Structure 1
Amino acid sequence: MNVILSKLQSYTQKKFFRFGVPFLVLIVAGSFGLKQFAQLRYTYSKKGTLTQEEAEKHGLVMKKPEEVTLETEFEKIKALDIDNWESVRGPRPWEDETMQQRASH
């Protein structure tokens, strides 16, 4: 019995067992606790799911995207006028947009 107590006492004097083990226990137990609290949020939420009709009524229905091909994108780019353009400097973070517009005109 004395051997076990002396070994236990020598382990409790080490920094890892005094600080590291409680820290690891806190991290692992905290993650499980946070999981339970997060689950409560979704379990007792008053928000319901939208039906298809409600989504259409509120305008939340996603439209089916058009098929994008290399040829259609090439036609869009070919239609652009790249010869006539004007270089316009955007405002700096410390400048007001109205100051920049006045300075360029």
Structure 2
Amino acid sequence: MFAPVVRCALKKSKTLRYGVPMIVLTVGGSFSLWEFSQIRYDAVKAKIDPELEEKLKRNKVSLKSEYEKIKDSTFDDWQNIRGPRPWEDSDLLQGRGPQTLKSKQA
């Protein structure tokens, strides 16, 4: 008895058909965004283990230290090899034809 009345009201009233769902989505979205942003701020406040924090501080890697490692390297034998497209065979594209693959497997 209640369902036909509701169905009839939904067909006739644009407010019930479009307005109420829009308000529900807006209010629900607001609460869900609040929850997700609160998780982010709670994660920032969380403290990590002091031993792990000390270990991370000791093993800092900087841009200068990485530059010093590769400063004297030579890249004369380096080749730029294009990666395969999804429809291409990667072994054939990178110069590893069927002959070289068979000889490696044998």
The TM-score normalised by the length of structure 2 is: 0.42
Structure number with the higher helix fraction is 2
Greater radius of gyration (CA): 1
